[in-house]
Amino acid sequence: MPNVGMKNKERAELPFVNIAVPVEDREKLRRIAHEEGRTMARQVSRMIREDHERRFGHTEEDLDNIRKMEGS
């Protein structure tokens, strides 16, 4: 079972897992996230979703998951 953490009860069904990031990249991520006003976890998630869309486009399931993540 993944390491699960939850921001609040409304998002309880959205599990989080830890990933390893090289130290020098972590600092870059921290600076990007700070500039964008996000946590590092949210920034990584956004970067992954944007790259996935660029490479593969959105499926309806992807759009539903994005809406859930963004609380729409």
Question: What is the full per-residue pLDDT of the chain (72 aa) written as tens digits?
Answer: 444 455 555 555 667 788 899 999 999 999 999 999 999 999 999 999 889 888 888 766 777 777 787 775
Long-range contacts of 6-11 (CB under 8 A, 24+ apart): 10/71
Q: What is the pLDDT of residue 36?
A: 94
Is pTM beyond 0.75 here?
A: no
Cα separation, 67 vs 53, in Å, equals 14
- Tell me, what's the pLDDT at 1? 43
